[in-house]
Copies of this chain bind each other. A is one copy, B any other.
Amino acid sequence: MRTFLECAPCFLRQALEAARMATNDETVHEKVVRRIASEISDLDMALTPPSMAQRIHRLVRDLTGNADPYLEVKERTNRLALDLLPAVRTRVGKADDPLEMAVRMAMAGNIIDFGLAHRFREEAVEEVLQRAATAPLVGSREGFVEDTERASTILYLADNAGEIVFDRVLIEALGPDRVTVVVRGMPILNDVLREDAAAAGLTGVEIIDNGSDAPGTILDDCSPEFQKTFHSADLIIAKGQGNFETLSEVDANIFFLLKVKCSVIATHTALPLGSHALLTSRKVHES
């Protein structure tokens, strides 16, 4: 999916946010805003938004001298999510359809995302769980159930720190033996890394990284090992907007599990803002 003009102000806002997390030095914040604005003026619209974000956040890390501006945020959201794990597990255990409820809880985790404008208020977390448990799930619930029953190998492309704790519940419901969890290769925004997967208590499941520092899955930018695993998986579950933006046109058996958080994605998927969506790559191609 290409970058839309609406992404430009969002990139700038996000760069300022990252700069402020990276350092308290206001002259550096200003330098970042100027440099990223200049970058945006030369924006290649054919790039996917995560590809543009990758360039921008490399610059932010360079200019601030901070290799991982979101480190503290990630640690905080991991802890917050772990506190919620018992409540999330109870919801899944009590549900008539535990797999669907696990999908819904993994969706709830996708809302714990400090990379977007509308910041997550920590106190609203119970509300989020309740909404995720009951909101309409748009897309291919039946296809998902069928494909998960058939698949011998499932590649689970994780998205953010914090969220990974909620993913754990879905991975447990799927059966960890056949699941490989994929984290990012290097720090980028609040995206999940190996240490977040470890903090989330993800054990008994294979964890690999994709070798990339993009906030999505740009196949050409990923390691050859990852690419091989990607292409041989029976089923791929891709969490969040970044994975959707980079893989929606890739020919593979992918289910995208995301909350529609911005108007660009809403337009691209023809779904209302705020939708909880379980989209197949086929559905995406047809739309």
Residues of A within 8 A of B (CB): 5-6, 8-10, 12-13, 16, 29-30, 33-35, 37-38, 40-43, 45
Among B5, B29, B41, B45, point to the contact of A35 (Cβ < 8 A). B41
Excluding A8-B12, A8-B33, A9-B12, 15 further A-B contacts by CB distance (< 8 Å) are A5-B29, A5-B33, A6-B13, A8-B16, A8-B37, A9-B16, A12-B12, A12-B37, A12-B40, A33-B43, A37-B38, A37-B41, A37-B43, A38-B41, A41-B41
Judged by DSSP, the binding face of A is helix
Known: A6-B16, A8-B12, A9-B13. A40 touches B33 (CB 8 A): yes
Chain B residues with CB under 8 Å of A13's CB are 6, 9
Closest B residue, CB atoms, query A11: B9
Closest B residue, CB atoms, query A45: B30
CB distance from A70 to the nearest CB of B (A): 19
Chain B residues with CB under 8 Å of A16's CB are 5-6, 8-9
Closest B residue, CB atoms, query A7: B33
CB distance from A18 to the nearest CB of B (A): 12
Residue with the greatest number of chain B CB neighbours at <10 A, chosen from A29, A35, A40, A45: A40
Among B6, B29, B40, point to the contact of A37 (Cβ < 8 A). B40
- Report Cα–Cα, A45/B9, bound state, in Å: 18
- Report Cα–Cα, A40/B38, bound state, in Å: 8
Show 14 residue pairs from A and B whose CB-CB distance is below 8 angstroms, ordered by the A residue: A5-B29, A5-B30, A5-B33, A6-B13, A8-B37, A9-B13, A9-B16, A12-B40, A30-B45, A34-B42, A34-B43, A35-B41, A37-B37, A37-B43
Chain B residues with CB under 8 Å of A33's CB are 5, 8, 40, 43
- Report Cα–Cα, A43/B38, bound state, in Å: 11
CB distance from A29 to the nearest CB of B (A): 6
Chain B residues with CB under 8 Å of A37's CB are 8, 12, 37-38, 40-41, 43
Known: A8-B16, A9-B13, A16-B5. A41 touches B45 (CB 8 A): no
- Report Cα–Cα, A41/B31, bound state, in Å: 9
